[in-house]
Amino acid sequence: MQIVKSIAAMQRLAKKWRRAGTRIGFVPTMGYLHEGHLSLVKRARQAVGKNGKVVVSIYVNPTQFAPTEDLAKYPRDLKRDLKLLRELKVDVVFVPSDEEMYRRSKSARGDARSTNFSTYVVEEKLSRTMEGASRPTHFRGVTTVVAKLFNIVLPDVAIFGQKDFQQAAILQRMVTDLNFPIKIIVAPTIREKDGLAMSSRNQYLAGNLRRQATVLWCAIQIAQAAVKKSKRFPTAKLKSAIKKLIECEPDAKLDYVEFFEPETLLPVSTVKSGMHTALAVFFGKTRLIDNAKL
């Protein structure tokens, strides 16, 4: 397994592979890998075959964090991550620095913006609701860094997890609108035995917070059961029931719960089978998201 830190070196490798007709599968991550990430890596290998190349990036992207969010505290363990990826026979791990990705001077502080970087990719429809409403600058950072990574790694196929449903939809729209010659595969959410979706932020859940976090999956199951029981269910009534359920947990605070059309992400007033739900909840200072088809 090769570890690459520079953009130029990664592009040289990718161009060499493409000239040879070798397919490239790509999994972008922010590290602190768990079984959910590893399932994406395995899916990338399936997509390109034994003769293809699998590239995983590990980069905690500062432009998708607001100043009040957990950039400095975001969990990092590169040594452990590399061991896990080596076991899966990943071909290349791309580990750039902020200076490399954003031409940021070493003395610069804050959010990685500098006079040397001023171009961003912005999706203007799918990013308006849910995460986009709660974290207004988040998706601009995501689309920008993923577009950069696509231009660096030059993949044929890129794998994303369904846990970040809105993010995956936005990136699919970006690929279509900007004509990236890349196939996007969205792989299923991987859950713990108690239903909690795997996330690097789960490690923040100290003490009783870990048990309380299972209310996310309980809320989704309640929504699914309501839709199964009634072909059409009033959204306001279902939101009220879920809010009440979540607020029974002493340290849980609902950020949002939404019901929407999966293609447009537009909210609906009546919920029925085939629609989607997504929610974000604070457990103490830790904010977790989840979603599922109804």
Residue with tokens 């290349």: 92
Distance CA 277, CA 127 (A): 16
Neighbouring-strand partners of residue 58: 29
| Residue 293 burial (10 A CB sphere; 0-12, 13-18, 19+) | middle
Tokens standing for 270?
Answer: 């009546």
The catalytically annotated residue of 34, 37, 138, 276 is 37
How many Cα atoms sit within 13 Å of 20 on the Cβ side? 12
Say if residues 10 and 4 touch (Cβ distance below 8 Å): yes
Whether residue 138 lies in the annotated active site: no
Q: What region, left, alpha or beta, does residue 266 occupy, with left being phi > 0 and alpha being psi -120 to 50 degrees?
A: beta
Distance CA 55, CA 93 (A): 6
Residue with tokens 């070196």: 9
Query: Phi/psi of residue 223, each to 5°?
Result: -65, -45
- In total, the chain counts a number of residues equal to 294
What is the maximum alpha-carbon separation in the chain? 59
> Which residues belong to the active site?
37
